Amino acid sequence: MFIVCRGHGFWLMLLLVNMICQFYSSVKRRKVESSGYVEEIQESVSVTSVGRGSGKSREKDKCSHPGVFSQMCYACGEKIEEDSGVTLRYIHKELRLGSDELARLRTKDVKNLLRHRKLYMILDLDHTLLNSTGITDVAPDEEYLRNPPNYMEGSLFVVPKMPIMTKLRPFVRDFLKQASSMFEMYIYTMGDSHYAAAMASLLDPKKEYFDARVISRDESTQKHQKGLDLVLGQESAVVILDDTETVWSRHMDNLILIERYNFFASSCRQHKIPCKSLAELRTDESESDGILATVLQVLKRIHCAFFKDLGDDPADRDVRQVLRSERSEILKGCKIVFSRVFSLYVQAETHILWRIAEGLGATCCTEVDPSVTHVVAADAGTEKARWAVKENKFLVNQQWIEAANFLWKRQPEDNFPVKPPKNT
Amino acid sequence: MFLKVQLHWNVIIPPDNLDAKGLMLQRSIIVRLLEEFANKKATKDLGYFTALTTLEKIGEGKVRQNSGDVLFPVDFTCITFKLFRGEIIQGEVDKILKHGVIVKCGPVESCYLSHQKMSGYQYVPGENPVFMSDKLAKIDKGVSLRVMVLGTKWMEAERKFMALVSIDGDFLGPV
């Protein structure tokens, strides 16, 4: 029994040892395989990391230097000496962006802005949002402004450091508040940076509307001209509000021309306006239906028209087309003949009034015919003017076109009568 | 970041501050040294002068013939702050721009962190714009950031440093 048992035990032991050996060898094999696999992984990792490293060094070698901060490329840290790209001094005096980077940022930013149903708006300061005069230039009839009446509180300021007196245009605070929900706003002025900063703090003391987006002539890239090269937005989404057309020669299609705000006598003298200033007359523009209130309605129309059709991608739309089509509706259906408004030696088609009228949707011609609706004359005694009266056509002076141009609305013709002939 | 430096400067004391009792004179020298130390602000090699720690030695004064001022050579130890490329620093977000962030780090007021050096972050516009990451980490005005210095530039006219920083790397970003 014992022997049998011992025999059984022996075989059992042998079986057990055999199983253990098999198990151990398989484990060993598996370990070797797995370690081989690990080695392979490590090898591939090291290869890829080397690859990545070399890629990085290659990347660094061919860094496109998208932008420069304090003469260092902000992507690779390399010192950059040459002055390429655009310096955005108004953001930071040491920041310069390359043209490719600017284009990329603009594309990205415009998508972001359009997603929030906003456009860009560039605002001029002087004669658009406010009017300033030197303290020493105050006219005798304006002396009362040194101790201003109560109704001017919050709109008339003295900036002693300059030293200037500034009057904010009526409705400007409401205008900025309402416009900020539709536009990302920039200030762009021909004044220097100190003046621009001082005026921006009067208009926007809490930095809600403009923040650092205040561009002055010190940051401008071209003398006596304004441009959109400093604006981080695409031209197709920019609306410009300015009282001076000539400074925007490259971006006329984006411009909404606004009537000048000449509150002080010095401004009237500057623009050769032979009449008393608003301050001298102790009056001001209306809050409710003044120029800024009117322009705000225009901006609302433009904003609404731009975002109206949600079918296509807003990034494919162009605000300049919206501006053109809105303008072309103002005098649509009007056929205009001019009489003694411009010199005989000037080609009629090139005259500014002719071009404005056509831009407003009117048809202009040189000779009268039954289809003519308006005669714009400088004198009621001309042949064409008399024809207009006889044929019961509208007879208006040239300010009728100018008013429609500024107010973006056809004006009542009765408000623009033509002076009677001088000899009567 | 912080350097311990031993310097040798000359301190000029006007004649009316000279005193027979050595103690008052020593006080005048120390006050003048502290004034000059504060006015010096920074140098290209040493960085920003942050603290004067010990006054090692006041040398023998030399009288200036024309003015009567006395020039004392002074040895002292101070601590300066200078950023170096590759260094990890901590700063506070001062300004959020569309294309990056201005970070303040101690006396260095302009450290520029470009959006290109903050992978995974997107600019979120609004009244208080921020940069938000995929993992909802937020870079807001006033937030503490751990950043790596990419490069520095000494501005001689303003006597200050500008720096470029990055948060592309492990353990970098909002603290």
Mean pLDDT of chain B: 86
Structural domain containing residue A411: 331-415
Residues A302 and A336 in one domain: no
Is the minimum CB–CB distance between B110 and chain A shorter than 8 Å? yes
Residue A335 burial (C-beta neighbours within 10 Å; 0-12, 13-18, 19+): middle
CB contact under 8 A, A66 and B123: no
Question: Which residues on chain B are in Cβ contact (under 8 Å) with A208?
Answer: 127
CATH number at residue B122: 2.40.50.140
CA distance A419 to A167: 34
Per-residue pLDDT band at A422 (split at 50, 70, 90): low
The reported pLDDT for the residue numbered A43 is 30
Residues A385 and A348 in one domain: yes
Residues B102 and B52 in one domain: no
Number of domains, chain A = 2
Number of domains, chain B = 2
Please tell me the number of Cα atoms within 13 Å of A182 on its side-chain side. Answer: 21
Sheet holding A374-377, edge to edge: A363-365, A335-339, A374-377, A394-396
CATH number at residue A403: 3.40.50.10190
Structural domain containing residue B26: 2-81
Is the minimum CB–CB distance between B127 and chain A shorter than 8 Å? yes
Which residue out of A70, A111, A177 would a mutagenesis test of the B interface target, given it has the greatest number of B Cβ atoms within 10 Å? A70
Residues B37 and B101 in one domain: no
- Give the pairing type, strands A119-123 and A255-257: unpaired
| pLDDT tens column, A351-393 | 888 979 999 999 998 888 899 999 999 888 988 998 999 888 9
Is the minimum CB–CB distance between B156 and chain A shorter than 8 Å? no
Nearest-by-Cβ selection for A91 from B97, B117, B127 = B97
| Residue A70, C-beta contacts closer than 8 angstroms, at least 6 positions apart | A94, B110, B112, B153, B155, B162, B164
Task: Choose one of B62, B81, B100: the last residue of a domain.
Answer: B81
Per-residue pLDDT band at A22 (split at 50, 70, 90): low
Residues A272 and A391 in one domain: no
8 A C-beta contact, residue A165 and residue A145: yes
Task: Choose one of A307, A322, A355: the last residue of a domain.
Answer: A307
Task: Choose one of B42, B60, B81: the last residue of a domain.
Answer: B81
Task: Report if residue A420 sits inside a domain.
Answer: no
Per-residue pLDDT band at A418 (split at 50, 70, 90): confident
CATH number at residue B22: 3.30.1490.120
| pLDDT tens column, B93-135 | 998 888 898 998 999 988 999 978 888 998 888 767 889 888 7
Residues B47 and B28 in one domain: yes
Residue B103 burial (C-beta neighbours within 10 Å; 0-12, 13-18, 19+): buried
Task: Choose one of B81, B114, B129: the last residue of a domain.
Answer: B81
Q: Which of residues 202-221 of A touch B (CB under 8 A)?
A: 208, 212
Task: Report if residue A13 sits inside a domain.
Answer: no
Task: Report if residue A397 sits inside a domain.
Answer: yes
